[in-house]
Structure 1
Amino acid sequence: MGSIEGRSVRKLVVACDAGMGSSVMLAGQIRRELRKLPVTVEHHPVAAIPADADVVLCQAGLADRARAGAPGSVVVGFRLFLGDPAVARVVAAVKEGGMVVGTTGG
């Protein structure tokens, strides 16, 4: 599962399975929300998550694959691309401080 202090996050990755639609838009939205902070927000396929990712956001069904491919990252699964509370918690922790806690299961 893992956790990281939000203000320590330097690279946040939105991972997807194959498409380049909703997850790319989510990455752009998060990038705009965090633009004044020293955080890089990237989009990558779940099979190609960079090793230096601090936090990986992905659909809950991809969380196990993301954990396997990025064992050093905190993986947070979400259900909705827009308005998901898990995504909002990660963004708030990065902006305001607090813990980003990985989710379990898929």
Structure 2
Amino acid sequence: MVTINGKDIHKLVVACDAGMGSSVMLAGTLRKQLGKSHVTVEHTAVRSIPADADMVVCHEGLAARVRSAAPGKPVVPFQIFLGDPAITRVVEAIQQGTDLDV
């Protein structure tokens, strides 16, 4: 397990398999929720995760692929695209500047 402080997350990437659909909606929702923070939210395919990403969120079915594509990056898998507790914890850690265990 890795611990990262919300203050240290500057680029949050929502990784997906194909590049369209629910993950795009999640990225938009995160941009709105984090609009007043210091965080940039990007949406990208698993194969295109940028090297400067501080954290990657993805559907739990993609987590192993994301970890292979972005070794050393904190990965937060989630089960549902909207309202998932894992995503809520990420948003709260960023907004409050608290630690997040991933």
What TM-score results when the alignment is normalised by the length of structure 2?
Answer: 0.94
**Secondary structure in 2 aligned to 1:83?**
coil
Q: Which residue of 2 aligns with 1:26?
A: 26
**Partner residue in 1 for 2:38:** 38
Question: What's the TM-score, normalizing by structure 1?
Answer: 0.91
Asked if structure 2 preserves the Cα contact closer than 8 Å seen for 1:4 and 1:99, the reply is yes
Runs of 4 or more consecutive aligned structure 1 residues displaced over 6 Å after TM superposition: none
CA shift for structure 1 position 3:
2.5
- Whether the 8 Å contact between 1:54 and 1:72 is mirrored in structure 2 is no
Question: Partner residue of 1:90?
Answer: 90
Does structure 2 conserve the Cα–Cα contact (< 8 Å) formed by 1:15 and 1:23?
Answer: yes
Using the TM superposition, give the Cα deviation of residue 101 of structure 1 relative to its aligned residue in structure 2, in angstroms: 2.3
Give the deviation of 1:8 after TM superposition.
1.1
Mapped contact 1:76–1:101 kept (Cα < 8 A): no
Stretches of structure 1 lacking an aligned partner (at least 5 in a row): none
What is the Cα deviation at residue 19 of structure 1? 4.1
1:24-43 superposed Cα distances (whole Å, 9 cap, x missing partner): 00000000111111110000
CA contact (8 A) 1:51 1:72 kept: no
Aligned length: 102
Q: Post-superposition shift, 1:71? A: 1.2
Which SS does the other structure have where 1:58 is aligned?
strand
Equivalent residue number for residue 47 of structure 2: 47
Mapped to 1, the partners of 2:19 and 2:97 lie a distance apart of: 32
Q: Percent sequence identity over matched residues? A: 59
